[in-house]
Amino acid sequence: QVTTTVEPSLQVAPYACQRRTPLDHPHSALVMALETLAEAALFEGEEARGLAFTRAASVLRCLPRALRGTHELSGLPGIGAHSHRVLQEVLEDGVCVEVETVKQSERYQTMKLFTQIFGVGVRTADRWYREGLRSLGDLRSHGTRLTREQQAGVQYFEDLAVPVGQAEAESLVCLVLDATAHLLPNASVTLAGGFRRGKPCGHDVDLLLSHPEEGREVGLLGSLVAWLGEQDLLLYQHSSYSTAAEASSSCRALDRFDRCFTILRLVLPTAGTRVRAWRAVRLDLVVVPHSQLPFALLGWTGSRHFERELRRFARHEREMVLNSHGLYDMRQGTFLLASSEEEIFQHLGLDYIPPTLRNA
């Protein structure tokens, strides 16, 4: 008697926000190859090419089981000819020559180093590269003109290069909870970003602050920043406030919340042998009116690609505009309210995807 097992074919929905993408998956080598090329394309200012590689990588991240061979790639959405070639090479040879060449190039390594500095984007990194700068030492010794933000980024580079761990994230949440409890009783502090998606570490901690009585949150950012300063915990901060004038003039901007990008002095647990008592970590604070909290939470949880796909899906499949403030239905000409993330997915006609499955 012969039994044949039929392999279920891999079914993948076209938009990342229609897919469940866990943190762990069996294709890390393939994903790393594509994401390296995506990053390299962005370093050259080639956004569309970068996005194509990011899309292909995101499809591999969501596959429910390991690929059984190159033949299975053809049924997947979003794998262009170039990505297909790269994947085939990694599947067959273990490495892709193009990817290895990129990784070893001075250009890629330098751009990666420079863009890792807090406050440095691709344009600045590219300018420094063309000026012949190659290292942090070069930036320091050539007296390169740095913004205040970049000065802090260079000064605390070594600390910020060490990922923030879950215990450190928790102690930052506790610190902010403690402070807000004094400054504004009943204020809420919600962890967003990569940690909410279940990542064990991240480049920063993202916190949303709100208050159940809308309007009470006004002024919280200023008093919290002042408090952190008084405690001597603030190594750097850059705040922006959504004044009424600014909000009306920049109605096309993605996000108009009061926010503060900081570098904090995180006091380390005491240990007998430790030389240093603290280290620098990045903390982002965003203050959100209560009625917008579900939208802000959805927008600040990420991943970046999941967010991009949610917005693309809303616009192209539903004629809706989604951002961190709300959801606008262009056909009805109305804003759709929501009291939870689940309701936003419902408005969009999407199955709910929990944060830990948004690692697209």
Give me the active site residues, please: 204, 206, 284
Pattern 258-297, ligand GTP, x by CB under 6 A: ----------------------------------------
CB nearer ligand GTP, residue 12 or residue 260: 260
Tell me if 202 contacts ligand GTP by CB under 6 A: yes
Residues 306-335 touching ligand GTP, rule: CB under 6 A, are 307, 324
Tokens representing 297 are 């939470």
Binds ligand GTP by CB under 6 A, chosen from 145, 252, 304, 331: 304
| Closest CB to Mn ion among residues 46, 284 | 284
Stretch in the footprint of ligand GTP (CB under 6 A) among 52-60, 202-210, 264-272, 287-295: 202-210
The bridge status of strand 201-202 relative to strand 278-287 is unpaired
168 binds ligand GTP (CB under 6 A): no
User: Least distance (Å) from Mn ion to the CB of residue 96?
Assistant: 29
| In the complex, minimum distance from the CB of residue 203 to Mn ion, in angstroms, rounded to a whole number | 6
Contacting ligand GTP (CB under 6 A), which of 300, 322, 341, 348?
A: 300
**Contact between residue 217 and residue 210 where contact means Cβ atoms under 8 Å apart:** yes
3-state DSSP percent of the chain in helix, strand and coil, to 5: 50, 15, 35
Taking CB under 5 A as the rule, does residue 284 contact Mn ion? yes
Q: Is 355 in the site for ligand GTP (CB under 6 A)?
A: no
What is the Cα–Cα distance from 167 to 157, expressed in whole angstroms? Answer: 21
For Mn ion, which stretch binds (CB under 5 A), given 21-29, 115-123, 203-211, 319-327?
203-211
Report, in Å, the least distance between residue 340 CB and Mn ion: 22
Contact between 259 and 285 under an 8 Å Cβ cutoff? The reply is yes
> For 278-315, b where at least 16 C-beta lie within 10 A, e where not — what string?
ebbbbbbbbbbbbebbbbbbbbbbbbebbbbbbbebbe
Residue of 207, 232, 234 whose CA lies nearest to 220: 207
Query: Is residue 28 reached through a cis peptide bond, with omega within 30 degrees of 0 on the bond before it?
Result: no
253 counts as binding ligand GTP under rule CB under 6 A: no
* 254 touching ligand GTP, by CB under 6 A: yes
Which of 297, 301, 306 is closest to 62 using CA atoms?
306
- Cβ of 108: how many Cβ atoms within 10 Å? 17
CA distance linking residue 265 with residue 230, whole number of Å: 12
Q: Which is nearer to Mn ion, 191 or 322 (CB)?
A: 191
Tokens of 29: 């080598």
Q: Is 255 in the site for ligand GTP (CB under 6 A)?
A: yes
Residue 204 touches Mn ion, criterion: CB under 5 A = yes
Total of residues contacting ligand GTP (CB under 6 A): 16
Q: Which residue is nearest to ligand GTP (CB)?
A: 202
Asked if 110 is part of the footprint of ligand GTP (rule: CB under 6 A), the reply reads no
Q: Which does 324 bind (CB under 5 to 8 A by kind): Mn ion, ligand GTP, none?
A: ligand GTP
Burial of 131 (0-12, 13-18, 19+ CB in 10 A): exposed
The item of Mn ion, ligand GTP, none sharing an interface with residue 199, based on CB under 5 to 8 Å by kind, is ligand GTP
Please enumerate in sequence order all residues whose Cβ is within 8 A of that of 222, keeping only pairs 6 or more positions apart, or say none.
239, 241
Q: Are 341 and 352 in contact (CB under 8 A)?
A: yes
Smaller CB separation from Mn ion, 168 or 206: 206
Rounded to a whole number of angstroms, the minimum distance from the CB of residue 246 to ligand GTP is 14
Token pair, residue 318, equals: 């539903």
- Applying CB under 6 A, which residues contact ligand GTP? 193-194, 199, 202-204, 206, 254-255, 299-300, 302-304, 307, 324
